[in-house]
Amino acid sequence: MSGFQVQSESQAATGAGSRAVSRVAALVICAYFLYFAAGALRARFAADDMMNLGQAYERGAPRVLFDTIAVWSDAYRPTGGLFYLLMYYAFGLNPMPYRIALLAIIAGNVYLTWRIALRITASEAAAALAATLACAHANMVAIYHQTSFVYDVLAYFFLALMLVLHIEGRSRAGVVLAYFAAINAKEIAMIGALWVFAYDVLIARPRRWFVPIVLLAMTLVYAAGRLFGPGALGQLQPYRMELNLHRFAVNNRLYLNDLLYVSYFDNSRKLLLFWAALALLCGLLRSRELWWCWFMALTATLPISFTIVPRAGPGLYLALLAWALWIAMLLAAIARWLPRPGWRWFAAALIAAPVAAQTISLWGNRTQRVLDEQRKTWSVITQLRDLGSRPEPHSRVIFLSNPFEDWDTYFAARLLWRDRSIDIQLANKLDVPPSAADLDRFDWILTFENGNIRTVRRR
């Protein structure tokens, strides 16, 4: 047998072994995802779901569709509104289809993360690591268990899809449309235009300027609408900004602690040294792809770096994509010095295993807290559904008391009864408490006592 034949057989055996490892890794990632997804099927609706769905229902499907292009309107994240309306008109207030749809999109996010990582690292081990890291995070339990975070999930999905299409040189129109859907899902996705621009500067050869310029122009128009338009989100208290370095440092110290499962970043000096150390590492490894991922991780929280109210864990879901890609790219850059491909898989497992163990260990208790918070909303929905009848068209209905300070009971009733002609009032939202004469004008009078609904009058 010739030396060439021996070498060919050796390469074939190595290739077969690598494919086998890749299949095992894919099965492990699927099992890891299903571990979290199976428990999330128990979730119902959160209080925010009634508000999100109810507001989309009140605007109506044609208006929500128009909202996707009306950047100066007071629309609230119309891509998410379309998701809610599609699910509502198909399944009503049955939570299970919402759960399945949301989990399917999360699974799509894991796949798209793997695909981006594979493209930029050319390493299946690094791509599997990125998918594992992006699969779940213990500070983002609500991403799996609350449909109200569909805005974050959709922003991740369409931004990741945009990156796949752009990196693979596919339809430019597809890149623009995916970005449009992403920013209409949640404002934090605006950072995607900078990511595309940075990719073309650092990696793409020849450089492609048309799409980045279009995306940056879209971002400027969209940001202006969200900051200065009528009813702009940026004018609301939780989204007001302090444009100074102190706010940037305070917020990003919190974000890094959340993302990296640490409490290390308690002052700005540590934050600065950390980013400088990562930049030095990029310089030493001489990888343009690693620099791009560093830039993504650095800027991922930029849209929320100056908000007076810092975001919570689930609000960092898009930043999780950037960090998963940076860590995977770091592995790929270092793996160039590893003599055998099998060692790359070992290094990927060495990183993924403790992160997965930490995530699983924290997941259970945090999941239960989220489920407990949903009980009140589901109780109100089921009690309204079990009344046995619904008000006639053009009826007037008042809730003398309800378990919520906000409008959750109003939206739950509106969505269950599906009749815009019914006038629904909440006594705790009226300027003046209703008198006996006022109450006599209502056809239905309902109230909640110790969390249980009671019919005072029905005619």
Q: What is the mean pLDDT of the chain?
A: 91
Is the CB of residue 373 less than 8 Å from the CB of residue 367?
no
Question: What is the bridge-based pairing of β-strands 444-449 and 423-426?
Answer: unpaired
What per-residue confidence (pLDDT) applies to 219? 93
Are 211 and 168 spatial neighbours (Cβ–Cβ below 8 Å)? Answer: no
Q: What is the pLDDT of residue 339?
A: 67
At residue 11 the predicted structure's pLDDT band, cuts being 50, 70 and 90, is: very low
pTM of the model: 0.93
The residue extents of the domains of the chain are 20-373, 376-458
Q: What does the alpha-carbon distance between residue 135 and residue 384 come to, in Å, rounded to a whole number?
A: 37
Categorize the per-residue pLDDT at 2 as very low, low, confident or very high, splitting at 50, 70 and 90.
very low
DSSP track, 345-368: HHHHHHHHHHHHHHHHHHHHHHHH
Q: What is the pLDDT of residue 135?
A: 97
- Nearest partner of 88 among 376, 387, 412, 447, judged by Cα: 412
Q: How confident is the model at residue 7 (pLDDT cuts 50, 70, 90)?
A: very low
Q: Which two tokens stand for residue 5?
A: 């034949």
Q: How far apart are the first and last CA of the chain?
A: 95
What pLDDT band is residue 336 in, cutting at 50, 70 and 90? confident
What was the pLDDT predicted at 6?
A: 36
- Residue 9 is predicted with a pLDDT of 39
Give me 124's structure tokens: 């299946």
Task: Determine the residue type at 378.
Answer: W
Parallel, antiparallel, or unpaired for β 452-458 and 444-449? Answer: antiparallel
Determine the pLDDT at residue 232: 64
Residues 6 or more apart from 267 whose CB is under 8 A from it? 253
